[in-house]
Structure 1
Amino acid sequence: MRALSLLVALLPLAACGQPAPPGPTSLPLMGGYRDPADPCRRVGEDAFTNQFLDDAADLVACPAGMENMGVFVTETGARRLTDAAGYTLFSVPR
């Protein structure tokens, strides 16, 4: 019985280890990053993206699973930050 009481007492603490809720369903996307037809887009500021903004880098979103993502990373020196709303967010140094 004591074990059951202890289990019931600790049950609320188990919720503390839950993963963070998913990110937003949309992002404040702007024009193409390297040119207007580029699938990677600059990202504006909102309540979600402000945690990733940096004065020395651009925040860029590329479609998740983009075929040439490795080329983008190599050419721009991008650093992967997170995935959100179907995009992978990168910090690209200026």
Structure 2
Amino acid sequence: MRIIPIAALLTLTACLPVEAPPIPVDLPLLGPYRDEGDQCRRVGESAYTNQYLDDAADLVACPEDAGDLGLFVTETGGIEVDRVGGFVLYSVPRR
């Protein structure tokens, strides 16, 4: 009986994690935001980032899995504007 092995294979396949396709966004990451060891990066201009750019603020991308995002927000006054491609985008007021 071939039905049982095929059913078992389909059941196992359904349990495998499915990775989401990468988001096709041009996120031009520049140098570190505050200092050389900072995981957060300044973000440059692209068709996607234009909606968040502001003369009075810097656009900064931090990895979503960074452990100190709360501290980053507290220290910089950054406001989360989006999450894309594994990064959290913040608009950080210039001082």
With the shorter chain as reference, the TM-score category is 0.7 to 0.9
Which residue identity lines up with residue 61 of structure 1 in the other structure? A
The 5 A counterparts of 1:9-28 are 23-28=23-28
CA contact (8 A) 2:59 2:92 kept: yes
1:55 & 1:24 partners in 2: Cα distance? 26
1:55 & 1:45 partners in 2: Cα distance? 12
Count how many residue pairs are aligned between Structure 1 and Structure 2. Answer: 73
The 5 A counterparts of 1:1-94 are 23-94=23-94
What SS does structure 2 have at the residue aligned with 1:74? helix
Deviations 1:31-73 (A, max 9, x none): 0000122100000000100000000000000001310100000
Unaligned regions of 5+ residues in structure 1, if any? 1-21
Which aligned segments of 4 or more residues in structure 1 are displaced greater than 6 angstroms?
A: none
TM superposition score normalised by structure 2 = 0.72
CA contact (8 A) 1:42 1:60 kept: yes
Partner of residue 9, structure 2: none
2:52 & 2:23 partners in 1: Cα distance? 13
Q: CA RMSD in A?
A: 1.5
**Which 10-residue stretch deviates more, 50-59 or 26-35?**
26-35
